[in-house]
Amino acid sequence: MPRVISATIGTLLALAAWLPAFGQEQPLERIEVRVLPMAVVAGAEFTLGDVAELDGFDVEAIAKLAQLSLGRSPLPGRTLRLNASFIKPRLAKIVDAQRVHLYVPPGAEVRRAAQVVSGEAIAARVLALAAEQAGTGPENLEQELVGRVRDAVLPKGEVAWEIALMGRHMAPGGSRTYRVLATVNGEEAWRALVRVKQSVYGPSVIAKRPIRRNQIIAAEDVTAVRRKLVGSEDQAALTATADVIGLRAKRPIGRDEPIHPGMVAAVAAVVEGGSVTMVYQTDRLRLRAPGVALASGRIGEFIPVRNLHSGKVVYGVVQRHDSVRVK
């Protein structure tokens, strides 16, 4: 009998020791957070899961910690130093800090992934567009960069370029400024201004010697040269001597001066006050009469003519040097 009582007492004592423990919350599992010595991220922000390994049995808490944002990522290609004082306050937002064992190796860093587009490649894009907009062939164009184009360090992703000429430029050549914009996955990532200096060349007819007003231009008076085009008027200069020879100078033209269309005119076939033959012609009739031109005119132009027999003034079309057809 005493042995049975002793066994019962022992059982009750063991049960009494066990019951309080059953009523209390069991201690939660610890979570190991080991930060990587060097982590590389791609996005504008990074999470704990991007830079650390997480271990433990509390799957739900670990999943939340992995998604915990630690802030903005460094600029593409740059690094950010990580330490325990940077990470611990953020962990407390998810779990009790007492549950987490955090290990941050000395010198731990996070680096933003990047792609680099060289300044030479960007300059080539700008020069190609500038050449296209110059409106002349490569044999007549010289261009160079003003200054150096820096490399573009961009985030990872699909890159698109926008290059636009700033301002309006009417004259050939000169300095031009281009705005260069790079977007990555549709978002602006880099911009710069690139300046280009252009020189445009082209053929121009110039006077080999001074030409007087109303002088008929001969072959020995002009020549065609390749010269740098400076102003918009230079682009309008005549380019072939055949376009000038035989024309009348409307004003004096200096030596080496480019000749523009407005500076010359066709020689009048009929001059004011000159004698002409007035011709009236139909299918069955042809009449001729002497007349006097009341204005100068080139072939195909209408001019007034006075009939010497009747004294009447009529209009006619200059046909050749001394003939005007009237109606």
Mean confidence (pLDDT) of the chain: 87
Judgement on whether residues 106 and 122 belong to the same structural domain of the protein: no
pLDDT of 12 > 50? The answer is: no
Average pLDDT over residues 161-165: 95
Nearest alpha carbon to residue 209 among 223, 199, 228 = 223
Among the candidates 112, 145, 165, a domain finishes at 112
Judgement on whether residues 56 and 78 belong to the same structural domain of the protein: yes
Residue 3: pLDDT band (50, 70, 90) is very low
Among the candidates 78, 93, 112, a domain finishes at 112
Domain count along the chain: 4
Produce one character per residue of 122-136: b if its CB has 16 or more CB atoms within 10 Å, e if not. bbebbbebbbeebeb
Look at residue 233 in the predicted model and tell me its pLDDT. Answer: 66
Number of CB atoms found within 10 A of residue 61's CB: 19
Pick the more confident residue, 27 or 183: 183
Judgement on whether residues 107 and 42 belong to the same structural domain of the protein: yes
pLDDT of 66 > 50? The answer is: yes
Judgement on whether residues 67 and 121 belong to the same structural domain of the protein: no
In a domain, 16, yes or no: no
In a domain, 2, yes or no: no
Percent of the chain with pLDDT over 70: 90
Nearest alpha carbon to residue 184 among 237, 247, 115 = 115
Average pLDDT over residues 164-187: 90
Pick the more confident residue, 284 or 119: 119
Look at residue 28 in the predicted model and tell me its pLDDT. Answer: 58
Look at residue 98 in the predicted model and tell me its pLDDT. Answer: 85
Look at residue 63 in the predicted model and tell me its pLDDT. Answer: 93
Look at residue 19 in the predicted model and tell me its pLDDT. Answer: 44
pLDDT of 27 > 80? The answer is: no
pLDDT of 268 > 70? The answer is: yes
Question: 0.85 exceeded by the pTM?
Answer: no
Judgement on whether residues 78 and 144 belong to the same structural domain of the protein: no
Q: Which residues contact 258 (CB under 8 A, 6 or more apart)?
A: 204, 205, 206, 227, 233, 234, 237, 238
Q: Which domain holds residue 163?
A: 116-194
- Bridge partners of 131? none
138-147, 169-178, 247-256 — which is least confidently predicted? 169-178
In a domain, 260, yes or no: yes
Among the candidates 77, 112, 147, a domain finishes at 112
Judgement on whether residues 287 and 248 belong to the same structural domain of the protein: no
Look at residue 185 in the predicted model and tell me its pLDDT. Answer: 92
The alpha carbon of 97 is separated from its chain's Cα centroid by a whole number of angstroms, namely: 53
100-103 vs 69-72, strand pairing mode: unpaired
Query: Residue 278 in contact with residue 326, Cβ under 8 Å?
Result: yes
Residue 15: pLDDT band (50, 70, 90) is very low
In a domain, 8, yes or no: no
pLDDT of 6 > 70? The answer is: no
Average pLDDT over residues 220-234: 82
pLDDT of 315 > 60? The answer is: yes
Judgement on whether residues 106 and 29 belong to the same structural domain of the protein: yes
Judgement on whether residues 81 and 107 belong to the same structural domain of the protein: yes
Residue 232: pLDDT band (50, 70, 90) is low
In a domain, 98, yes or no: yes
State how far the Cα of 213 lies from the Cα of 253, in Å rounded to an integer: 8
Judgement on whether residues 129 and 170 belong to the same structural domain of the protein: yes
Judgement on whether residues 107 and 29 belong to the same structural domain of the protein: yes
Residue 29: pLDDT band (50, 70, 90) is confident
